[in-house]
Amino acid sequence: MSVKETIYPSRRFRGTPIIPGDKSISHRALIFGALADGKTEIVDILDGADVKSTAQCLQQLGVRITRSENTMLVYGTGDHGLVNPDSILDCGNSGTTMRLLMGVLAGQKIQCTLTGDASLRRRPMNRVADPLTQMGAHIRMTEGEFAPLSIAGGSLQAINYELKIASAQIKTALILAGLSSQGTTCLTGEISSRDHTEKMLSDFGVHLTLNSKSIEIRGGQTLRACKVQVPGDPSTAAFWIAAASIIPGAQLVLENISINPSRLGFLRVLQRMGADIQVEATSEQSEPVGRIRITSQPLKGVRVLKKEIPSLIDEIPLLAVVATQSIGTLEIEGAEELRVKESDRLEAIATNLRAMGGAIEMRQDGFRIEGFQKLQGTKIESYHDHRIAMAFSIAALVAQGPTEILNADCAGVSYPDFFSTLRKLTQ
């Protein structure tokens, strides 16, 4: 079924929307809970399609999971381990589900096949499979790189591994495999991606040796069930933050958002562009949580460096939209990972901005946008990618005339109430 949403330009943008739970933290809480000894309680877990994919795969692997309203209970399998599923595990659209589960399954004495939707079946999995194979897992991929893939796990050996890509999915998969290996696994290289795994594992009673250059994981540690309070997702909040920064007169307050520094690159870049954004810590468990206030201000383009990319990887489509409404040039480099997300996001940004009458100079690993640009409402191809559908809905708010977002239902991957919230904030 193809769902189309029509977005009209808006001069008004105000409110205090409730931001759904963080997607990365929700996945991790489910997976760590499944491996732990005891019952894990996850409060305010994201009710999005990606997280449902993780929960469903875990249930097929023998994990009991119950839900009542905003809380999930996960009955961990502990020492008993996971069981052979009786059918293929479908990770849907979720790269995090597939890659994190690969790390888990590599260390379990079972055999199974993982697949996903057309987008996920085009995304590279060898980046996780190669190190897991070095540790002793048996993995067969389609065309040596893609899902469907089959995995037979068992006795793993610790390795020293240098991460070449700053990806929290790869890092987490290897930490999870390291926990069920013999010996101590040491990860070096590009380890400075989002650090929810490192923080949450400590709540589950796992000790990792962390410093700025390496992560050491001693195999054989037991996870102990705990309670996880999931904060609001800063990558979801980013849509409203972007809208509030480009609609004159806008005002927005967001409560209970994860203000983990490894996720706040987008806010830091907006502040450099001149945005009036205040971040105030309101509680500090293992994840820092806070309030974000934003009042619209004129913005100017800046240069975003490669080393900043991991902290705003999911917000780059939005940054392109914001750049069209700023004065001067915004330039991004080192963002080639965007080509292997739910869609080729660099291509999707270029095609859709140009369709709206905007101009963008593309490079293999980024782009350059000269502001200020007048955008025209048009038909937007979401490429079934949630972040593209939502980013161009924000562009639609400052365009002339209505914009149609095609296949807009993909927003449900991370934000099922996105379009109804958008309507409330612009009323």
Q: Please state the closest distance from residue 377 (CB atom) to ligand S3P, in A.
A: 28
Query: Which pair of tokens denotes residue 342?
Result: 């739910």
- 194 or 384, CB closer to ligand S3P? 194
DSSP 329-347: EEEE-S-GGGGGSSS-HHH
Q: Active-site positions?
A: 314
Q: Please state the closest distance from residue 288 (CB atom) to ligand S3P, in A.
A: 17
The answer for 44, left when phi > 0, alpha when psi is -120 to 50, beta otherwise, is: left
Longest pairwise C-alpha distance within the chain = 61
- 23 or 321, CB closer to ligand S3P? 23
Please tell me the distance from the alpha carbon of residue 301 to that of residue 299, in angstroms, as a whole number: 7
- 53 or 326, CB closer to ligand S3P? 53
Please tell me the distance from the alpha carbon of residue 248 to that of residue 3, in angstroms, as a whole number: 30
- 341 or 399, CB closer to ligand S3P? 341
Phi (first) and psi of residue 67, to 5 degrees: -135, 135
| Interacting residues toward ligand S3P by CB under 6 A | 24, 27, 96, 167-169, 172, 193-194, 313-314, 337
Burial classification of residue 42, based on how many CB atoms lie within 10 Å of its CB (0-12 exposed, 13-18 middle, 19 or more buried): buried
- 95 or 136, CB closer to ligand S3P? 95
Q: How many CB atoms lie within 10 A of CB 334?
A: 15
Q: Taken in order 239, 242, 248, 254, is the CA torsion positive or negative?
A: positive
Q: Please state the closest distance from residue 46 (CB atom) to ligand S3P, in A.
A: 11
Q: Please state the closest distance from residue 378 (CB atom) to ligand S3P, in A.
A: 27
CB 219 within 8 A of CB 178: yes
Please tell me the distance from the alpha carbon of residue 187 to that of residue 190, in angstroms, as a whole number: 9
Q: Please state the closest distance from residue 338 (CB atom) to ligand S3P, in A.
A: 9
